[in-house]
């Protein structure tokens, strides 16, 4: 069983930043990432609020960060953590899809996954018209009618990206105004992307593939059927904290890991950073939390 000073679960912006700091501090560290790309962050088509870049995609920024971190420590792709054991006095034990590890400290930066609508037809048509990633699936729909469900930054970014691919895009939002940042709302107007307000998707219809959705207007209580070829769901995310909570790490009623201002959890030696902690979900915040977590681990472990 290989032993480490620090293991980081998750290779998103928080985990990679933590890795850079830990590696430069001389801690024996490894990052365990369950995917080949760093989750939902890899799918962000464009950002204009990350310091140092006028505009950059999530994929491009993560690749730059990963190249930097790999100068100091390894990143293991496709290695999912199955269990965390904290009752061994010699260290924290991890069981993964590829083996076992022992570590003096652990940073959990597992992030979150796309939240589902939980409506009839959603699961049935995943990959056949139901999508959660415009960057991944958008190139299948140029010239076709698609909707984006949601009203936050992610939904508006996806709609703008899809319009740029040549899709006929409409946003469906359950309220009468968007939550997205003003600069994104301005871009939405510039791209002449229509919004259907006060409406929710009640059902996804199709025959082998999606061909329409049933919409319910929350104000008029009217139902309408909207023909389309694809539906992109961007209604927020839910934390990937199951393994952590099973190990006794404290989470809130939604599942976000609770930490102090130094990213320490209720279990000594275990820290959390990034979207998994809830709060403001911005890349720059995730990176800051990753840095704080790594420095806290260094102080606690190396003294």
Enzyme catalytic residues: 133, 136-137
Instruction: Provide DSSP, the chain.
Output: -EEEEEEEE--SHHHHHHHHHHHHTT--EEEE-SSSS-GGGGG---BS-STT-SSB-HHHHHHHHHHHHTTTS-EE-S--EEEEE---TT-EEEEESS-EEEEEEEEE---EEEPP---TTTTTTBTTTEES-HHHHGGG-TTSEEEEE--SHHHHHHHHHHHHTT-EEEEE-SSSS--S-HHHHHHHHHTT--EE-SEEEEEEEEESEEEEEEEEETTT--EEEEE-SEEEE-S-EEE--HHHHHTT--B-SSSPBP--TT-B-SSTTEEE-GGGG-S---HHHHHHHHHHHHHHHHHHHH-
């Amino acid at each position: 069983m290989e032993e480490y000073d620090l293991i980081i679960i998750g290779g998103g912006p928080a985990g990679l930043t933590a890795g850079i700091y830990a590696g430069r501090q001389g801690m024996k560290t490894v990052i365990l990432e369950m995917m080949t790309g760093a989750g939902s962050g890899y799918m962000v088509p464009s950002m204009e609020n990350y310091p140092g870049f006028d505009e950059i995609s999530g994929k491009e920024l993560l690749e730059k960060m990963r190249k930097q971190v790999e100068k100091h420590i390894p990143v293991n792709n496709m290695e999912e953590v199955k269990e965390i054991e904290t009752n061994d006095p010699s260290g924290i034990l991890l069981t993964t899809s590829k083996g076992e590890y022992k570590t003096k400290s652990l940073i959990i930066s597992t992030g979150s996954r796309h939240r589902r609508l939980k409506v009839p037809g959603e699961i049935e048509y995943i990959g056949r018209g139901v999508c959660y990633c415009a960057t991944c699936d958008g190139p299948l729909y140029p010239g076709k009618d698609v909707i984006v469900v949601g009203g936050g930054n992610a939904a508006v970014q996806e709609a703008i990206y899809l319009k740029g691919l040549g899709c006929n895009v409409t946003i469906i939002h359950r309220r009468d105004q968007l939550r997205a940042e003003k600069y994104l709302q301005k871009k939405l107007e510039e791209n002449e992307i229509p919004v259907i307000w006060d409406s929710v998707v009640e059902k996804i219809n199709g025959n082998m593939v999606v061909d329409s959705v049933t919409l319910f207007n929350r104000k008029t209580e009217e139902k309408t059927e909207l023909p389309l070829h694809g539906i992109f769901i961007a209604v927020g995310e839910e934390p990937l904290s199951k393994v952590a909570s099973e190990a006794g790490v404290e989470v809130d009623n939604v599942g976000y890991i609770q930490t102090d201002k130094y990213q320490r959890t209720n279990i000594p030696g275990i820290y959390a950073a990034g979207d998994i902690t809830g709060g403001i979900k911005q890349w720059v915040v995730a990176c800051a939390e990753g840095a704080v977590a790594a420095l806290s681990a260094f102080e606690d472990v190396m003294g």
